[in-house]
């Protein structure tokens, strides 16, 4: 039995329409493994919940339908005013509860399935995930390493049809690090979370029993190290590496020209 001090709280956001899918099997592995370790686990199974994917005026109870909808403004008003719709508020509460967050999904068209993108679009309210801290002058908010979700760890568990070489350093799909940049850097690191290297399962459409056994074992190892593994070394925005325009200072980045410059 694990010592009680090792117990942590983990939220899994899961987005696959079929509970018998590979992606859903990975979710089940995570629940079982983390629970066996003594962690407390909650799952937001977006398809099962019938999650509303589309951000629109229905998200704001007090919005006058005849008035112009400025989503970011309405989002801040309802967040600060405590008038958010219940599904959005509930997901924020889960994020605040959690010490670890796993996004579990199939990579569709090099990004999140729409239902999961819509979870981000709606749950990441203005004042909660962005618009936090001072904006203006040389500072542009508490973001990228700072923010509401600082102190938490996050990881992607992602399946894809493509082969590993297609996502390699010079693969035709673009290197996985760059393909996942908008998610890992833009959605997880932005509101403050540390981001672990992704667990990626290639050629998911052609996974036989032998590869599944191997993948499951590899995923268990990653899960067991969730709170000890080194996160990706994304540079915090406000720790001196970026200038007042939020541009990486000269001399940093090792002469590289791509997104790798943003790793310290």
Binding site for its own copies (CB under 8 A): 17-18, 20-21, 47, 51, 53-57, 68-72, 108-115, 117-118, 120-121, 124, 140, 144, 161, 163, 165-166, 168-175, 178-179, 181-182, 185-187, 190, 205, 237, 242, 245-248, 253, 256-262
Q: What is the C-alpha to C-alpha distance for residues 123 and 92, in angstroms, rounded to an integer?
A: 6
Q: How far is CA 139 from the centre of its chain?
A: 24
Least Å distance between CB 2 and its own copies?
35
Cβ distance to its own copies smaller for residue 140 or 227? 140
Least Å distance between CB 140 and its own copies?
7
Least Å distance between CB 48 and its own copies?
11
Give me the count of residues in the chain.
264
Q: What is the C-alpha to C-alpha distance for residues 190 and 48, in angstroms, rounded to an integer?
A: 28
If one counts every other C-beta atom within 10 angstroms of the C-beta of residue 207, the result is 16
Q: What is the C-alpha to C-alpha distance for residues 184 and 207, in angstroms, rounded to an integer?
A: 25
> Parallel, antiparallel, or unpaired for β 40-45 and 9-14?
parallel
Q: What is the C-alpha to C-alpha distance for residues 34 and 29, in angstroms, rounded to an integer?
A: 8
The backbone torsions φ and ψ at residue 168, rounded to the nearest 5 degrees and listed phi first, read -80, -175
Least Å distance between CB 20 and its own copies?
5
**Contact at 8 Å (CB) between 128 and 135?**
no
Least Å distance between CB 16 and its own copies?
9
If one counts every other C-beta atom within 10 angstroms of the C-beta of residue 104, the result is 28
Q: What is the C-alpha to C-alpha distance for residues 181 and 51, in angstroms, rounded to an integer?
A: 24
Least Å distance between CB 205 and its own copies?
7
Cβ distance to its own copies smaller for residue 37 or 84? 84
Least Å distance between CB 40 and its own copies?
28
Q: DSSP assignment, residue 184?
A: I
Cβ distance to its own copies smaller for residue 209 or 245? 245
Residue 209's contacts (CB-CB under 8 Å, 6 or more residues apart) are none
Cβ distance to its own copies smaller for residue 29 or 55? 55
Q: Measuring CA to CA, which residue among 233, 104, 110 is closest to residue 166?
A: 110
């Amino acid at each position: 039995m694990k010592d009680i001090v090792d117990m942590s709280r983990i939220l899994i956001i899961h987005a696959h329409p079929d509970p018998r899918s590979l992606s859903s099997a990975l979710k089940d592995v995570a629940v079982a493994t983390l629970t066996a370790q003594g962690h407390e686990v909650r799952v937001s199974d977006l398809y099962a919940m019938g999650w509303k994917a589309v951000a629109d005026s229905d998200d704001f109870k007090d919005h006058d339908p005849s008035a112009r909808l400025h989503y970011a403004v309405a989002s801040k008003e309802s967040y600060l005013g405590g008038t958010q719709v219940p599904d959005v508020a509930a997901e924020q509460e889960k994020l605040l509860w959690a010490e670890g967050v796993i996004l579990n999904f199939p990579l569709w068209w090099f990004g999140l399935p729409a239902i999961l993108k819509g979870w981000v679009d709606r749950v990441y309210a203005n004042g909660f995930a962005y618009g936090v801290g001072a904006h203006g002058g040389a500072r542009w908010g508490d973001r990228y390493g700072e923010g509401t979700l600082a102190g938490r760890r996050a990881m992607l568990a992602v399946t894809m049809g493509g082969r590993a070489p297609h996502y390699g350093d010079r693969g035709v799909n673009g290197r996985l690090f760059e393909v996942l940049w908008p998610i890992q850097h833009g959605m997880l690191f932005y509101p403050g979370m540390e981001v672990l290297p992704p667990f990626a399962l290639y050629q998911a459409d052609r996974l036989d029993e032998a590869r599944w056994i191997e993948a499951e074992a590899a995923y268990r190892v990653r899960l067991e190290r969730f709170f000890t593994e080194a996160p990706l070394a994304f540079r915090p925005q406000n720790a001196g590496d970026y200038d007042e325009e939020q541009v990486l200072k000269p001399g940093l980045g090792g002469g590289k020209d791509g997104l790798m410059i943003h790793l310290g």
